[in-house]
Chain A
Amino acid sequence: MNKVRQLDDIVAGIEDGATIMFGGFLGVGSPLRSIEKIVAKGVRDLTVISVVNSYPGGGFDLAPLFSNRQVRRFVTAHTGTCPEAIEAMKAGDLDVEFYPMGTWIEKIRAAGAGLGGVLTPIGLGTLVEDGKQRLEIDGRSYLVEMPLRADYAFIAGHRADTLGNVEYRGVSLNSNPVIATAADFTVAEVNEIVEVGEIDPSRVGTPGVFVKAVVQGDSPTEHQAVFERLWVRTGRLAAPATAA
């Protein structure tokens, strides 16, 4: 049961109008090579579900999907970091559906965990309440938030074994373990693919039962280099001294 696949083969199966979840938070913990391939394929009318949008200022991770107008509907907690998405909104090419971040993740968790929805007080008395059922329980009010799932989930991890067990690293797990549970077809893009048994069971962040395919992303070294370049370019780390 070897789940290792070529990314090109998976992306070839994605059709116009698909609903795709992406893990990651402003590019960190994002399946960068998968996004690139989906951009290159040019599928359109996508519904994209991601907790936030691109790295601030655009031009990275999800941003090209919006500049190419491949996304029709974006389900998120925040989109303001991505100038390309704002332009698409202004042009009438993009609808954005906002949920409070904690509600967004619980809706997906509910879908993956077989729950009928979530009761939350967050958003009461705001625009988030519009069109939603409100329940009174023991004198407190709650909004009913429905489960949220997708055709595909693309997650990013540090390592995976060939059974699809995924190990995360650092703060980059963010939405990945949750969205991995809530799609018909979950793809894990990882920095390193290892043999079964090499990942300590206590370090498995996403059990392989949730994962349909494992694909090779940037190597650990290239992964570090990508973010060093990004953070230096955007002034978040001091630039390296110029070689004499």
Chain B
Amino acid sequence: MNTWIQCVTVLLPVAYMSTALLHGMAFAGDKQPPIAGWRRASLWTALALHAVLFALHARVAGGFPELDPWLIVSSVSLTVTLLWTAVTVRSRQASAGAIVLGVVGLLQLLASAFGPVTANVLAPLNAARILHVVTSVFAAAALVLSGLYGLLHLMLYRQMRAKRFGPIFRQLPNLEQLSRTTRRAALAGFLFLTAGLNIGIGMAHAQDVSGFDYRDPQVVLTIALWIHFGMIAFSHVIRGLTARRTSIAALAGLITLIATLLMALIPGITFHE
């Protein structure tokens, strides 16, 4: 079983990178039907491989696997791809794929390189804990997507300010759509984070989790992120929050989110390590 896990772990970043490359070819102007077909096939292959990887981990662990930081990164990669696929199906605009899937591929490469071969079962295994993990992963993925679309918005806006009408101008979705996706992804992240955060705090109180404190750096940063992305989600009704400022905020939120996740890797900083 471990051999299978190792094979899939190695193949997964390759699958994501290949998909990103095929999207990059489309971005550069190659939209021939065979390329479009390979792009779709490659994306579904990557998603299927990822599902197989988690199924194998669950089978080895004998239940819902405990997610170490690298497995969290891997599950965030999978969720980002799922959310992005939903966005593209709805908007019929897959041109951001090169960048979004490129970042996903990079995250998965790190997860594959540093992650464990096998995972333990989540203990204690209960519905609240599973829900806390799942909502937190979805929140992180939505916030990553919001940050990435914010980055794309800034890229296009800068190009348009500089009066450069190259591939970024021609291929990316329009400014309004990028801004809307940034806000909507932030809203999804905000809602999932509301659920994940409350379930987590509830569990911490109910189960008297050792080391839990509201002053814990990860808790503080997560609450800050919750407020931050809440503002981004409703930025269109807040005077003075221009689309550009919202995008900068989303990008800053993404960097903070990465810092928050990385915190768990350093011993002694957070109870969540």
The yes or no verdict on A and B being binding partners is: no
Interface residues of B (CB under 8 A from A): none
